[in-house]
Structure 1
Amino acid sequence: MERKFNGSRFGIARKRRLLNKRQLADALGVSEYTVLRYEAGKTAPAEEVLPILAKTLRFPVEFFFGCDLDEPLADNASFRSQAAMTAAIRDAALAAGSIGFLIADYVEARFDLPKVVVPDLSFYSPEAASRALREEWALGERPISNMIHLLESKGVRVFSLAENSLKVNAFSLWRAGKPYVFLNTMKSAESSRFDAAHELGHLVLHQDGTPKGREAEDEANRFASCFLMPEADVLAEMPHVYSLDHIVQSKARWKVSVAALNYRLRRLGVTSEWQNRNLCIQISQRRFNKEEPLPMPREMSVVWEKVLKSLWADRITRAEIARDLHLPASEVESLVFGVLGQSTPRPEARKLTAI
Structure 2
Amino acid sequence: MVTPSRIRLARERRALTLARLARMSGISQQALSGYENGLAEPTHESVRAIAHALGFPVAFLAADEIEEIPSEAVAFRARTKTSLRKQRAVRAQAALGVELNDWLTDHFTLPPPRVPTYGKPFPEAAAEMVRSLWELGDAAAPNLVHLLEAHGVRVFSLDTEHQDVDAFSFWRDSVPYVFLNTAKSGERGRFDAAHELGHLVMHGHERPSSGPEAEREANQFASAFLLPRADVVGRMPSGAQVDQLLEAKGIWRVSAMALTYRLHDLDLLTDWQYRAACRRLAELGYRSGEPDGIARETSQILPKVFALLRRGGRTPASVAAELSVPLTELNALVFGLSFVARPGAGGRQDPARSARPVLRVVPDHGTDAGS
Q: Which TM bucket (shorter chain)?
A: over 0.9
**Cross-structure match for 2:41:** 44
Q: How does 1:133-148 map to 2 (within 5 A)?
A: 133-148=130-145
Q: In the alignment, which residue of structure 1 is the partner of 2:348?
A: 348
Q: Supply the distance in 1 between the matched residues of 2:338 and 2:206 (Cα, whole angstroms).
A: 35
Identify unmatched segments of 5+ residues in structure 1: none
Paired AA for residue 257 in structure 2: A
Q: Give the TM-score normalised by the residue count of structure 1.
A: 0.95
**1:228 match:** 226
Superposition deviation, residue 298 in structure 1: 0.8
Q: Deviations over 1:162-210 (max 9, x none)?
A: 1433431111111111111111112222112111101111111113341
Partner of 1:97: 94
Partner of 1:127: 124
Q: Give the whole-Å Cα distance in 2 for the aligned partners of 1:106 and 1:56.
A: 26
Give 1:341 shift.
Answer: 4.8
Distance 2:161 2:277 in 1: 31
- CA–CA separation in structure 1 for the residues paired with 2:40 and 2:238: 68
Amino acid at match of 2:31: T
Quote the offset at 1:83 in angstroms.
1.6
Q: Percent of aligned pairs with the same residue? A: 38
TM-score (norm: length of structure 2): 0.91
Match of 2:326 among 307, 321, 328: 328
**Which residue in 2 is equivalent to 1:248?**
246
Query: Partner residue of 1:8?
Result: 5
2:24 counterpart SS class: helix
SS at match of 2:178: strand
Moved more, 43-52 or 17-26: 43-52
- 1:257 pairs, out of 232, 248, 255, with 255
What secondary structure, in the 3-state scheme, does the structure 1 residue paired with 2:162 have?
coil
Question: In 2, distance between residues paired with 1:334 and 1:204?
Answer: 26
Contact kept in structure 2, 1:81 and 1:167, CA below 8 Å: no
Change (3 A) 1:340 1:106: farther
Q: How many residues align?
A: 352
**Displacement, 1:49?**
2.5
Whether 1:291 and 2:289 are equivalent positions in the alignment is: yes
For residue 314 of structure 2, what is the amino acid of its counterpart? I
Q: Which residue of 1 aligns with 2:215?
A: 217
1:240-264 Cα distance to aligned partner (Å, 9 max, x none): 3543232222211111111111111
| Aligned structure 1 segments of 4 or more residues deviating by more than 6 angstroms | none
SS of 2:290's partner is: coil
The offset of 1:70, in angstroms, is 2.1
Q: Matched residue of 1:43: which SS?
A: coil
Answer yes or no: is the 8 Å Cα contact 1:70–1:101 preserved in 2. no
Letter in 2 for 1:164: E
Whole-angstrom distance in 1 between the partners of 2:175 and 2:220 = 24
Q: 3-state SS of the aligned residue for 2:45?
A: coil
Counterpart amino acid of 2:241? S
- Give, in angstroms, the shift of residue 30 of structure 1: 2.5
Question: C-alpha distance in 2, partners of 1:209/1:164?
Answer: 32
Deviations 1:211-263 (A, max 9, x none): 44111111111101000000111111212354323222221111111111111
Provide the secondary structure at the position in 1 that maps to 2:156: strand
- Closer, same or farther in 2 for the Cα pair 1:254/1:206, shift >3 Å? same
> What CA deviation, in whole Å up to 9, does each residue of 1:110-169 have, x standing for no partner?
100001111122232111011111111111000012001110111111111114334311
- The question of whether the paired residues in 2 share the 8 Å contact of 1:93 and 1:163 is answered with no
1:333 and 1:340 in contact (8 A); partners too: yes
Counterpart position of 1:170: 167
The CA distance in 2 between the partners of 1:257 and 1:31, in whole Å, is: 51
Please give the secondary structure, in 2, of the residue aligned with 1:180: strand
- Is the alpha carbon distance of 1:295 and 1:188 closer, same or farther for their aligned partners in structure 2, counting shifts above 3 Å? same
| SS of structure 2 residue aligned to 1:68 | coil
